[in-house]
Structure 1
Amino acid sequence: KDVISIARMQGVMSIVDIAQTAGVIPIDFADWQPDVVAGSCVKWLCGGPGAGFLWVSKQILNQLEPVDIGWFSHKNPFEFNIHNFEYADSALRFWGGTPSVLPYAIAKNSIDQMYRIGVKKVREHNVMLARKVIDALPASWLVSPDEDQYRTGTLVVNPPIRDALEARLNALNVHFDVRKRGFRLSAHIYNTPEQIEQVINALL
């Protein structure tokens, strides 16, 4: 939100990428008032690969002329005149050509399920599980912010003797990412406190 305000004061457009937060952090466009928001359905929305989304403020919708266009982008898609192109007056101007339907069908059902659960509930569950890990491990291992309000859904910890601990986690079939700065743990709504206890025991 602060970045959007700064951009507006500078007279520039704001484009916000929420691929890492949609589905785990409550988002309010009415409060943010961004110009453009883009994201992916992969990560926290559990929508699988191949589907993304784009939201554009009505105030600037007709000012933007996307370069990557297709027949759905046309004001009259059935005109079939290659020498004439007019952008659709609606968000269809960003649609492009015929999409692969299956990824969008999967993503829609996943997003509907996440909506029924509620992002606020997902966030509370995520914070509760992350707090268990934070409170159990030495503070020196923590890479992510300790304060819940400054942390995304992912918790990064950097323990010593990483190879041995990585092997322990793999033996428990824990899904995690290994990065230069540490292990990335992303507890979702389907993870249980018992699973988190297993992770903590493996790390300690």
Structure 2
Amino acid sequence: MTSNLAEQFLLDPDVVFLNHGSFGACPKPVFEDYQRWQLKLERQPVAFLDSRRGLEANLRAARLALAAELGSAPENIAQVTNATTGLNIALQSLPLAEGDEILTTDHEYSALEKTLVFVARRTGARIVVVKVPMPFVSAEAFHEAVLAGITPRTRVLFLSHITSPTALLFPIERLIAEARARGIFSVIDGAHTPGHIPLSLDALGADVYSGNCHKWMMSPKGSAFLHVRPDLQTMIDPLVVSHGWTADNKEPGVRGPLGNSAFIDEIEMQGTRDPSPWLAVPSAIAFRHAHDWWRVAAECRNLAQETAERVRGQFGLDALSSPEFSAPQMVAIPIPPCDPLAIHDALLADYGIEIPVFAWQDRHIARLSCQGYNTRGQMDVLVEALAELFGLRQRHRKLNTA
């Protein structure tokens, strides 16, 4: 890894931070830009938050930069606080009725699983969960499993692009096309995707896609987006009705109070809130370009896969997937049966390692994130710490409950 990249971040040097996937980490120049926007807000709040005096122009500049990075038009992207919010907006707007089916997988993020239950209870729809064949080594097997779950009642296909618990990169392109052909809404959870893999939203063709900028794009927390196909935007209702709402929003071509589409104004114009995280997104994109981040990401992928192989090797456990279906910079590493919280707490207290450890279905997992500030030496610390905690180095044997 490039040795000076850690100096670009604000992370505690006493912590081996291997959990970028949960909340991200913001580089110093991006954080400084974020604080610059916050200072402008506090120096003259009225002027800053007045759309006629610059706010709308600033919001649009961020929207333009993000749209160019993600391969879409700025008119298709609305600012939200996080991907969970964006997906709630979309899922709660869908015209579902009693007996309709929402098709999803057993690898989804728990907050969105709850959202699906909420929507199903309110509408009378039914959730159908497909069990993904594991280990994940075949796109064809994945496609067949999901397609087998489609029935004449299927109205929504809800999939993660990169899964949270298992760090898998789902090959979703064919399924999105198939959903379109069958008149099924495709809703994609892209929380981990922007900045993690190259992404062209228009080419992907999902009806709805929501992603975070604060994770792998490395913008400040509170910056995310909701992308909706132009022909479906009039279907979207805001979660909060505020100044951006127009009673005529279901008519195509109706503009919102700020002159954007009603889709954008209804979601973005919702009373007093700090837009600084969103306004710093162009700075995060510029930082990535300045540091050739796709090259950095490729180095991270190699280091993550190598580390996962070392850990699995010492425990004699199989991988959850072949490398091509693992998220490039994030890998779910199987570990022996244990008390996950005890292992997590011991890693942090005794070794200074911050990494999520949890049980998922019948497996126990340490989910490793590798970002540009991580080093091979830190990976050595993780490998040795896990060996000691599980008794391979005769230490902390009591934590292993196998």
TM-score for both structures, normalised by structure 1: 0.77
Report percent identity of matched pairs. Answer: 22
Alignment of 1:1-204 (within 5 A): 1-61=173-233, 63-68=234-239, 69-74=241-246, 75=255, 77=257, 88-89=261-262, 91-98=264-271, 99-117=273-291, 120-139=294-313, 140-145=316-321, 147-152=322-327, 153-160=329-336, 162=338, 166=344, 167-168=346-347, 170-180=349-359, 181-204=364-387
Q: Distance in 2 between matches of 1:73 and 1:125?
A: 46
Native 8 Å contact 1:169 1:199 kept in 2: no
Shift of residue 179, structure 1, vs aligned partner: 0.8
Contact 1:24–1:119 (CA<8 Å) still a contact in 2? no
- Residues 170, 41 of structure 1: alpha-carbon distance in 2 compared, 3 angstrom cutoff: farther
Residues in 2 aligned to 1:31 and 1:57: alpha-carbon distance in whole angstroms? 11
Greater RCO between the two (CA within 8 Å, min separation 6)?
2
The answer (yes or no) to whether the contact 2:191–2:210 under 8 Å persists in 1 is: yes
Distance 1:112 1:14, change over 3 A: farther
Aligned length: 195
Q: 2:300·2:372 contact (CA, 8 Å) conserved in 1?
A: yes
Range 110-119 or range 4-13, more displaced: 110-119
State the distance in 2 between where 1:127 and 1:89 align. 40
Is the 1:23–1:122 contact (alpha carbons within 8 Å) kept by the matching residues of 2?
no
Point out where structure 2 has 5 or more consecutive residues left out of the alignment.
1-172, 247-254, 388-402
Using a 3 Å threshold, how does the CA distance of structure 1 residues 138 and 52 change in structure 2: closer, same or farther? closer
Task: Work out the CA distance in 2 between the residues paired with 1:117 and 1:90.
Answer: 34
Gaps spanning 5+ residues in structure 1: where? Answer: 79-86
Alpha-carbon separation, structure 1, partners of 2:365 and 2:350: 18
The CA RMSD measured in Å over matched residues stands at: 3.0
Query: Does the 8 Å contact 2:238/2:266 carry over to 1?
Result: no
